[in-house]
Structure 1
Amino acid sequence: MYKNFFKRVFDVLLAVIALPFWFIILTILGPIIYFQDKGSIFYNAPRLGKNGKVFTMYKFRSMKTNAPDLRNEDGSTFNAEDDPRLTKIGKFIRKTSLDETPQLLNIIKSDMSIIGPRPDLPEHLQHYEQNEQRKLEIRPGVTGYNQAYFRNTIPWKERIQNDIYYIDHLSWWFDIKIFFKTVVSVLKREDVFVTGKSNETNKIQKRNV
């Protein structure tokens, strides 16, 4: 009942409540992002949604205009604190996760949920193996199990298995724990960039959730 009905109800209610506060963030950050290099305020990216449907995900732009597309060996997007593609304000909004706040609009449009698997690029669909396509069974999230507990410290394939673990254990209480863990991680600015932590950390975290 929660997964199929109440989760969506809570998403919409919380997104609508948060929307006026997001407009304040937009009013402050928008001009700063624009005047730093006279580029677009938003970065609109195609992503895989529920059942493989492609949608446009909204973010505040954190990179310089015409920045090259860099990828890690596993095909995931490159992410590092010293990334020269980031603008000055871009580094700040990345560390504070403010770049993700426009996804409130995606929640209202029903593209995304507050909590769920982070959406992959459309081209990643052809790289799914075995049960990995199961991560598309639910709406992707602004935050989720991976973002709350590991952020950017584990490989893409491992994140997919964590997404499936979340789907199999989805509940109101699990979402509450993920939400508050996300708040703590954001406030502490933990593991925003890739640091190469061992997979053993993931195993310990999963046992303690």
Structure 2
Amino acid sequence: MIARKSIPLSKRIFDLLASSFLVVILSPLLLFIALLVWLVHGSPVIFRQQRPGYHGKPFICYKFRTMNDRRDEHGKLLPDEQRLTGLGKFLRSTSLDELPELFNVLRGEMSLVGPRPLLMQYLDRYTPEQARRHEVLPGITGWAQINGRNALSWEDKFRLDVWYVDHWSFWLDLKILALTVVKVLRREGISSEGFATAPEFMGSVKTGEKESEANTPHGC
């Protein structure tokens, strides 16, 4: 069970002001990317998917589409790495595909900084400690993202997410935002070896004193 933890007012005010400013300033870029996505991928331009948010409450997360809808002879979608386009790779490597999440921040469904919103089916796969990552709003960037992003194992990501929950401060958020700019410019930790983004989290399995993961390819 996830413990109740309120959202700091200072965090919400900063999110609202900063995301409003960024949407206005970046609106020409948003429109330009939307046009490129439409020309390369067609409609819809925005990828919408239900994700677990604050305390696991579902919300619709917005991103620019990075993959096409190519299918095999049986009508089944091809693997993610075969559908990820050149434009999509660029958008992901620069994190520009996540700019529409600014509207999730405006709506109060996300924060600029927090654990990344993952998939609904992961909720039943977390250990009680891992589930604590939902004690705060999910974020566009986070402590795990500046410390390895998709190059990290799921276990390491979740440990960093929970560390953020326990050590949040306004200054920590500012530090994460500043370091995010550096990481994006360097394009560090974009994908795990062998996957378009990261392997799917299949749950943690206790093996003696250590925890291991069973993973299959996944991308979104």
| TM-score, normalised relative to structure 2 | 0.78
Aligned length: 184
Q: Is the 2:115–2:138 Cα contact (8 Å) retained in structure 1?
A: yes
Q: Structure 2: where are the runs of 5+ without partners?
A: 1-5, 72-76, 195-220
Q: How many percent of aligned residue pairs carry the same amino acid?
A: 36
The alpha carbon displacement at 1:49 in A equals: 0.2
- Counterpart residue number, 1:157: 155
Identify the match of residue 94 of structure 2 among 81, 96, 100. Answer: 96
AA paired with 1:172? F
The alpha carbon displacement at 1:23 in A equals: 1.8
Q: How does 1:188-203 map to 2 (within 5 A)?
A: 188-195=186-193
Highest CA radius of gyration, 1 or 2? 2
Distance 2:49 2:161 in 1: 21
Distance 1:38 1:135 in 2: 35
Identify the match of residue 178 of structure 1 among 162, 176, 179. Answer: 176
Q: Deviations over 1:42-92 (max 9, x none)?
A: 10111110011000000000011267486xxxxxxx7xxxx2211221111
Q: Is the 1:106–1:112 Cα contact (8 Å) retained in structure 2?
A: yes
Q: Detail structure 1 runs of 4+ shifted over 2 Å in the superposition.
A: 65-70
The alpha carbon displacement at 1:4 in A equals: 1.4
Q: Structure 1: where are the runs of 5+ without partners?
A: 71-77, 197-209
The alpha carbon displacement at 1:156 in A equals: 1.7
The alpha carbon displacement at 1:31 in A equals: 1.6
Distance 1:66 1:50 in 2: 34
Q: Is the 1:55–1:111 Cα contact (8 Å) retained in structure 2?
A: yes
Q: Is the 1:15–1:104 Cα contact (8 Å) retained in structure 2?
A: yes
AA paired with 2:104? N
The alpha carbon displacement at 1:95 in A equals: 0.9
Distance 1:127 1:140 in 2: 18
Richer in helix (by share): 1
Q: Is the 1:49–1:112 Cα contact (8 Å) retained in structure 2?
A: yes
Distance 1:157 1:124 in 2: 13
| TM-score, normalised relative to structure 1 | 0.82
Distance 2:116 2:193 in 1: 19
Question: Aligned Cα RMSD in Å?
Answer: 1.9
- Counterpart residue number, 1:50: 54
Q: Deviations over 1:94-125 (max 9, x none)?
A: 11100000000000000000000001211101
Identify the match of residue 85 of structure 1 among 72, 83, 89. Answer: 83
In structure 2, the CA distance between the partners of 1:112 and 1:12, relative to structure 1 (3 Å rule), is same
- Counterpart residue number, 2:104: 106
Distance 1:26 1:4 in 2: 29
Richer in strand (by share): 2
